[in-house]
């Protein structure tokens, strides 16, 4: 079982880079397992990863693998502790999410698909040095009632029920960030009304978003 999860994690990490969401080794991915979670190792090219390079961790941060875990293991652990519905976490530095995050901007409801992240906007977490407890606290706060957030002067973090869904959510948020950057370059964004976003969120809860 764990062997299969390790391979799925590697395959999704390779797919993440192939999708253009991430460059090089800056991003990281994890999946919840029985007694904690499995996370990609620090500073290794995904294409060369073998299942035993994946690092098993406990929710308290204890790690056992032969490799060192991603330097961002702390907020992965914090999300699994705080959000029981989170089974897979993706963190990356996609160009458009990072552009907005470097302006300390979140993504407002300029498009109904913003609701795919669980609410009426996608927040930008306050800045703190990578790998710190302070950054974990900011990420947990920005994810309140959401499955995705930007991170100031840094990038994107999101979680989902499984690895295919978390990759799809990251692609969607980066697409929204791309369109929002274009809108900001041309003029002011028009934001959907609160009650319309309530309707969209209700439809997402009832029908899902696969073909919306």
Hey, which residues are catalytic here? 72
Q: Say if residues 23 and 93 touch (Cβ distance below 8 Å).
A: yes
- Cα–Cα dist 44/17, whole Å: 13
């Amino acid at each position: 079982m764990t062997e299969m999860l390790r391979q799925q994690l590697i395959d999704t990490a390779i797919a993440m880079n192939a999708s253009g969401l991430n460059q090089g080794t800056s991003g990281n991915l994890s999946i919840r397992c029985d007694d904690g979670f499995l996370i990609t190792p620090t500073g290794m090219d995904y294409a060369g990863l073998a299942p035993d390079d994946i690092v098993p961790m406990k929710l308290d941060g204890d790690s056992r693998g032969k490799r060192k875990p991603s330097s961002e293991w702390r907020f992965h652990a914090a999300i699994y502790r705080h959000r029981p519905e989170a089974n897979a976490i993706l963190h990356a530095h996609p160009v458009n999410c990072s552009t907005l995050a470097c302006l300390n901007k979140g993504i407002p409801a300029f498009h109904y698909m913003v609701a795919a992240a669980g609410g009426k906007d996608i927040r930008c977490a306050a800045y703190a040095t990578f790998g710190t407890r302070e950054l974990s606290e900011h990420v947990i706060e920005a994810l309140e009632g959401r499955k995705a957030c930007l991170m100031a002067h840094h990038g994107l973090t999101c979680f989902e029920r499984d690895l295919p869904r978390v990759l799809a959510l990251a692609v969607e948020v980066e697409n929204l960030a791309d369109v929002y950057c274009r809108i900001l370059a041309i003029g002011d964004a028009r934001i959907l009304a609160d009650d319309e976003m309530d309707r969209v969120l209700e439809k997402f809860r009832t029908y899902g978003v696969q073909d919306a």
